[in-house]
Structure 1
Amino acid sequence: MAALEKEKKKQWNEEQERIRDAQKKLEKEKEKWEKEQAKFREAHHKEEEKVKKMMIERDRKLLKNAQNKKGKEEKEKRKSDQKEKSEAHKRKRIGIKRAQSSQTKQIASKPSRSAAPKRR
């Protein structure tokens, strides 16, 4: 009987040791899996940061291009306005010169008072 109980106790101890070994193995696998997950999360986070930076840089370039385009358009508008203003001033000057020349022609066509025959 004592031998039977010793055998049962020995088997039970062996069973308990196998269980502990299996638990240790599971724990090691779990730690390994958690490390892999942490690496994956870190890599994923780095990739997200990289994408975010790329998007920010792209937006910055688009904004800069839009501002440059707007600046060019404003410059062109100012240039065309200045040209138009200059041409309007030029037309006005030509008009004044024409008016002055037509006045001088009218004056030239009228005899001057001093040149008019004097009455005696």
Structure 2
Amino acid sequence: MDFKPVEDVPGVGGSQFAANQEDMLPYVFLGDGGFGCTDLIMTPFTDRGADTHAKIAFNRRLSKARSAVEHAFGIFAKRWRLFLGTVDAGPDLARLYTLAAVICTTFSSLCLMMKKLFTS
């Protein structure tokens, strides 16, 4: 697996979390049972393979994590309809579209929070 220093993980570098970590965090994709488990794709144990409480708990936590990611992406894609289908762009332009959408989403969320703060 390609482990990166905690400081290099987007959104974590420079935080108190990063300052307290000495370990490396892996980047992985969360997959369902239809994917094969690889160094980059984390999949659940099969029904027969989940024979211990630890493996069953792992499957449950993996399922919750996948649901949270799917829910967040659903909200993001609903707001930015570009992401509902295939993005017809090269990797660099698709990365730029994604970055612009994330920045705009963050900015609008901050504006809403500030509005609530000053109107309360």
Provide the TM-score with structure 2 as the length reference: 0.26
* Larger fraction in strand: 2
Provide the TM-score with structure 1 as the length reference: 0.26
* Larger fraction in helix: 1
Of structures 1 and 2, the larger Rg is shown by 1
